[in-house]
Structure 1
Amino acid sequence: MQTGSQQPLQQEFDSLSPARVANRREFVAGLVASGFALAVPPVAAQSVIKTPADGLVAGTVEIPAGDITLRGYRAMPAGKGPFPVVLVVEEIFGVHEWIQDICRRLAKVGYLAVAPDLFARQGDPTQYDTIPKIFENVISKVPDAQVMRDLDAAAAWAGKNGGNAARLGITGFCWGGRITWLYAAHNPNLKAGVAWYGRLVSAPSELSPKHPIDLVGEIKAPVLGFYGGKDQGIPVDSVEKMGAALKAAGSRSEVRIYPEADHGFLADYRPSFNPAAAADAWPKALAWLQQHGV
């Protein structure tokens, strides 16, 4: 594990200089080159932090997952492994350039990071131009049980392709934040997780029978959950309820709220990007994974 390499990544948040930031045209070009596309909503932002792939092995991979082969994006150091593994769980927009950049950021500090396309069976979010359409046509049709199996498949693939399966972590964003909590209750081999503004409380459904608040007593690996105090979709009281439940259960997991941050505050390509919250949370996320053996 490469220690002491967090500083360059921290500087990306501290100073969004032209040398480190791609404009929208470069962003879209990167999507095409990588084989993944991006739905219209997130491209509203004009710039993203661009983490270079020099010193890395990075690109599209194929992951056997039962009845299908999932496409995914993998980044890892170019040196000798095996490397600790972090599963990266997408937002509702799919494995777009920002998710790929997260993989590269993790690879820069010594991880094999892999983001599988968890919507492959239900559809392609990039084919829809509004968030309601993405939810209606893709997200609402994705069963939690299927996602757990596909993440197991991605972890197994990583363990055979340069990763150390005994040092397994997970991180996810928005939709993927909720999935991170669920996976921590699902996989006894997981070492730690970091959930970014994932939904905690909701009514059960056939495809999503339980939510993080229902699984507090089953969480096997410590999860650090980051939330924004101004997030209109995830009320602060639901985050506080989760925190209280974790404490009552004696869990090693915890939640942290950034009062001035909104939903998606780490996503530097979105208007909701909060540089101060992002700069504080990212190194804490890396420290959490390292602290718990990933």
Structure 2
Amino acid sequence: MTTPIDLSSRSASAGGSRRLTGYLTRPDGPGPWPGVVVVHEMLGVEANMRRHAERLAHAGYLTMMANLYTDGGIRRCLVSTMRAATSGQGPAYQDIAAARAALADDPDCTGRIGIIGFCMGGAFALMTAGSGDYDAVSANYGRLPEDPDKVLAGACPVVGSYGRRDPVVGKGAATKLETALDRLGVIHDVKEYPEPAGHAFLNDAQFGPRVLQPLFRVTGFGPDPEASADAWRRIEAFFATHLTPHPAP
């Protein structure tokens, strides 16, 4: 079940957006459950993002997705939010922290919290991996930090998924991320999927205005069911390992 949540007081008091809405999705059955912060792609909280949150809830995670465009809309917020995703500065970070805090305060949350991001959200996920706030990170076709060694030092476990035909993150992003995580000794599972997987391959429907969808498809944006199924299997297994408490032997 998904419920709209007003996160404005949390975000504003921390120096984030004056207005911030979010969407809390609860698994069926009794809690408590681990939490997952979902960070949306560049086009905002659209249907694909809601389905991602619902999938994670079905897998047993209490999810919270903040709408980073609440305070001004996508036209006013898109450019500044995308810049923040790789610069490490901007109110979006306080907004994401507000979503995390709401999960942590929920009595149905175990206290173990991960973060998953898609596209622009994947970059935010990587930027927060070393903050100490999360127990696991899933970054999906997100741009890499400008200084990976600095940003990812001391990071929590990271699972990353990229498509070889991605025109946004550029060639070799998965290899560069894996090399940095190896060098830093961070637990990780990073994979690049072969063509036709490109940007937004985890989505189950083409995003964007209908008039632009044919252009997105030919330039490397859009669903790849085979790669998506494998990536979701890896993400769910990774989160189960790092977010779900296991009884002592």
For the superposition of Structure 1 and Structure 2, which TM-score range results when normalised by the shorter chain? 0.7 to 0.9
| 1:265 counterpart (193, 201, 208) | 201
Quote the offset at 1:287 in angstroms. 0.5
**Structure 2 CA distance, aligned partners of 1:146 and 1:71?**
14
Quote the offset at 1:110 in angstroms. 1.3
| 1:173 counterpart (115, 118, 124) | 118
Quote the offset at 1:236 in angstroms. 2.6
Correspondence for 2:210: none
Residue by residue over 1:245-265, the C-alpha shift from the partner in whole angstroms, topping out at 9 and shown as x without a partner, is: 211222112421002111110
Quote the offset at 1:168 in angstroms. 0.3
| 1:119 counterpart (56, 62, 69) | 69
**2:35 aligned counterpart, secondary structure:** strand
| 1:253 counterpart (188, 201, 205) | 188
Q: Does 1:235 align with 2:170?
A: yes
Correspondence for 1:96: 46
After superposition, the Cα gap between the structure-2 partners of 1:246 and 1:140, relative to the gap in structure 1 and judged at 3 Å, is: closer
Quote the offset at 1:135 in angstroms. 4.3
**Structure 2 CA distance, aligned partners of 1:137 and 1:241?**
25
Quote the offset at 1:239 in angstroms. 2.8
Correspondence for 2:58: 108
Structure 1 unaligned regions, length at least 5 = 1-56, 203-210
**Structure 1 CA distance, aligned partners of 2:130 and 2:199?**
24
**Structure 2 CA distance, aligned partners of 1:157 and 1:253?**
27
| 1:70 counterpart (20, 23, 27) | 20
| 1:197 counterpart (123, 132, 141) | 141
CA contact (8 A) 1:72 1:95 kept: no
Instruction: Read off the aligned partner of 1:167 and give its amino acid letter.
Output: R
Identity level (%): 31
**Structure 2 CA distance, aligned partners of 1:97 and 1:59?**
15
Correspondence for 1:285: 235
TM-score, length-scaled by structure 1: 0.68
Correspondence for 1:144: 89
**Structure 2 CA distance, aligned partners of 1:222 and 1:259?**
24
CA contact (8 A) 1:200 1:239 kept: no
**Structure 1 CA distance, aligned partners of 2:224 and 2:111?**
34
Q: Does 1:161 align with 2:106?
A: yes
**Structure 2 CA distance, aligned partners of 1:227 and 1:183?**
18
After superposition, the Cα gap between the structure-2 partners of 1:230 and 1:215, relative to the gap in structure 1 and judged at 3 Å, is: same
Residue by residue over 1:23-52, the C-alpha shift from the partner in whole angstroms, topping out at 9 and shown as x without a partner, is: xxxxxxxxxxxxxxxxxxxxxxxxxxxxxx
CA contact (8 A) 1:106 1:113 kept: yes
Correspondence for 1:9: none
Correspondence for 2:129: 184
Correspondence for 1:39: none
**Structure 1 CA distance, aligned partners of 2:125 and 2:81?**
19
Instruction: Read off the aligned partner of 1:265 and give its amino acid letter.
Output: F
CA contact (8 A) 2:125 2:139 kept: yes
**1:257 aligned counterpart, secondary structure:** strand
**Structure 2 CA distance, aligned partners of 1:103 and 1:89?**
10
After superposition, the Cα gap between the structure-2 partners of 1:139 and 1:217, relative to the gap in structure 1 and judged at 3 Å, is: closer
* Bigger mean CA deviation after superposition, 159-168 or 267-276: 159-168
**1:120 aligned counterpart, secondary structure:** coil
Instruction: Read off the aligned partner of 1:155 and give its amino acid letter.
Output: R
**1:95 aligned counterpart, secondary structure:** coil
Correspondence for 1:48: none
